[in-house]
Amino acid sequence: MPTTTRPCDECGTPYEAQRRTSKYCSTKCRTRVSRRTSKAPAAKSKALDPAGGTVTQLPTAGGPLDETSPANPNTEDMTGSLAEQVRKSLTELRALDTISGAQAIRVARQIDRGGDSGSAVATLSKELSRLADAAKVEAAPRIKDAADDIADRVSEKLRLVAQ
């Protein structure tokens, strides 16, 4: 019976194939492959596990957060009153003294008081975001004016430098 030299499908080492159907140089290579292929379905089910693992990890991810928030003093400043946050953003937008801005703060204070029902708070929140947007619109020309002021000053300076 003639033998042919062929490379092993597993390790690539050329070997004397005793049979035409032979694919591997040794039982070691054959078992390695059969183990890998038999493991494949197991690996698939394992691939599903991380997905489930991610879901189960979510509560644990929330756990450390809950533990760190009281330890972090900055968190308390961050969770300051809604009215304070609104006031800060309106100040940044130069919209604090607009009519809508003042109303927005009043609404935010009402939400802060916390005496309202959930649906009332939802309505107030909607009103608050509407007022905040209106305040932004009211303040928009001022921001532009301020930007123009700065631009004027810069060009004035440039003119002085150029002289």
Which residues are near Zn ion by CB under 5 A?
8, 10-11, 25, 29
Nearer to Zn ion, 37 or 56 (CB): 37
Which candidate, 82, 137, 130, 122, places its Cα nearest to that of 103?
130
Where are the strands (E) in 8-151, listed by range? 14-17
Q: In the complex, what is the shortest distance from the CB of residue 8 to Zn ion, in angstroms, rounded to a whole number?
A: 3
Q: In the complex, what is the shortest distance from the CB of residue 17 to Zn ion, in angstroms, rounded to a whole number?
A: 11
CA distance 73 to 27: 65
What would the two tokens of residue 62 be?
């929330």
Q: In the complex, what is the shortest distance from the CB of residue 33 to Zn ion, in angstroms, rounded to a whole number?
A: 9
Q: In the complex, what is the shortest distance from the CB of residue 52 to Zn ion, in angstroms, rounded to a whole number?
A: 37
- Read off the amino acid at residue 136: K
Nearer to Zn ion, 15 or 106 (CB): 15
Nearer to Zn ion, 10 or 127 (CB): 10
Nearer to Zn ion, 22 or 89 (CB): 22
Burial of residue 35 (CB within 10 Å: 0-12, 13-18, 19+) is exposed
Cα 134 from chain centre: 29
